[in-house]
Amino acid sequence: MSDFAIIGAGAMGSAVAKRLIDHGATVLTCLEGRSERTIARAAAAGMVPVGRQGLAKAALILSIVPPAEAIGVAELVAEISSGLQAPPPFIDLNAIAPKTMQALAARFGGSTVEVLDGAIIGGPPAAGKPGPTLYVSGDSAERSRLLQDYGLRVRRLDGPLGAASALKMCYAGINKGFIGLGAAMLLAASRSGAAESLKAELAESLPDVDRKFSKSIPDMYPKAYRWVAEMQEIADFLGEDDPAATIFRGMAGVFSRLADDVEGDHALVGQLDEILGSRDTGGAMVMP
C-alpha cells in the first residue's frame, strides 16, 4: 500500500511531496491534463504518476491546490472513493474559508470517507529549513500523525471542522493585511511629501515594522493579484456583521490596484521601491 496521494503538484504540493519522499514515503499524484511544467515539477520531486482511481490506493489523500479548485478536488476524491470498503481519509489543506470547508465536507455525505480540515502556514519545505506547520482540525483519530512520521510538522486543533481554515484566514489577515496597510500608507506618504520622514520615523520608533515592510512589500508585488481573492475570502469569512469585513474589502482594492500597476507602468511599485530603498534622510533633518 502506498503511503500518500497528493492532488496538486504546484510549488507547495511538490515541496510537501519531496519532504515526505525524502523521509521514505511514496507519494502518488494524478497528472492527467496537467501542464508540462507541473509534470516536470512532480517528476523532479519524485512523485509517482497514477490514474485518478489509483489515488485511492494511498493511506491518506491530500489536496494542495489554489482555493478555487478545492471543491472540484473534493468531488473527484468522493467519486473515486465511492464503493470502496475502506477509502483513505482526505485532508483539505487549502486556504479556504470555514464555510467553504463545510460545503466541501458535505460533498462526502453518505460516504465513509473521513474528511479532515487542514491549513498550511509558512512557505514550502526546503532543504535545511523546518518548513511550514500543517494545522489539522476534526482529526479525532489522529490520521494526520502519518504526515508527522514522514518529516512534516503537524499541529492538531481541538476546534471543529473548519477551525484550521479559520486559523489560516486569521493568520493571513494579520500577516498579509499588515503588508497591505504598509503599502497603502507608504504610498499616501509619498504623494504628500512625507515619505522620507515616515521611513525615518519607522526605522527609529518601530524598527521591527520597518524591517518587515522592507522585505515583505517587495516580495508581495508578484503575488498581489492572488491576494485580491484571498482578501475577499477573508472578508466573506468575517461576515457582514463584522465591521472588519470592510477592512478586507479595502485590502482587496489596495492589492488589486497594485496588481494592475505590476502589470502596467510600475508607477506605484516605483514609489514604494524608492521609499523602501531610501537611505537618504536629507528630507527629514534631525536638528542636533
Residues 201-220 that bind a copy of itself (CB under 8 A): 201-202, 204-206, 208-209, 212
143 binds a copy of itself (CB under 8 A): no
- The least CB distance from residue 163 to a copy of itself, in Å, is 4
Q: Which listed residue (45, 50, 105, 164) binds a copy of itself by CB under 8 A?
A: 164
Distance CA 184, CA 123 (A): 24
Binding mask 81-120 for a copy of itself (x = CB under 8 A): -----------------x----------------------
10 binds a copy of itself (CB under 8 A): no
Maximal CA-CA distance, the chain: 79
Residue 221, number of CB atoms within 10 A of its CB: 18
Pairing status of strand 133-137 against strand 60-63: unpaired
Grid cell digits, residue 144: 494526520
8 Å CB contact between 270 and 180: no
25 binds a copy of itself (CB under 8 A): no
Cα 256 to the center of its chain, rounded Å: 18
**Segment 43 to 82, residues that bind a copy of itself, using CB under 8 A:** none
- The least CB distance from residue 169 to a copy of itself, in Å, is 7
- The residues, any chain, with a CB within 8 Å of residue 44's CB and separated by 6 or more, are 14
- The least CB distance from residue 33 to a copy of itself, in Å, is 35
Closest CB to a copy of itself among residues 85, 192:
192
Closest CB to a copy of itself among residues 113, 187:
187
- The least CB distance from residue 147 to a copy of itself, in Å, is 9
Q: Which listed residue (156, 220, 261, 271) binds a copy of itself by CB under 8 A?
A: 156
- The least CB distance from residue 83 to a copy of itself, in Å, is 33
- The residues, any chain, with a CB within 8 Å of residue 89's CB and separated by 6 or more, are 60, 61, 113, 114, 115, 116, 141, 143
8 Å CB contact between 161 and 137: yes
Cα-Cα-Cα-Cα torsion 103, 107, 111, 114, nearest 10 degrees, comes to -50
Binding mask 213-252 for a copy of itself (x = CB under 8 A): ------------------------xx---xxxxxxxxxxx
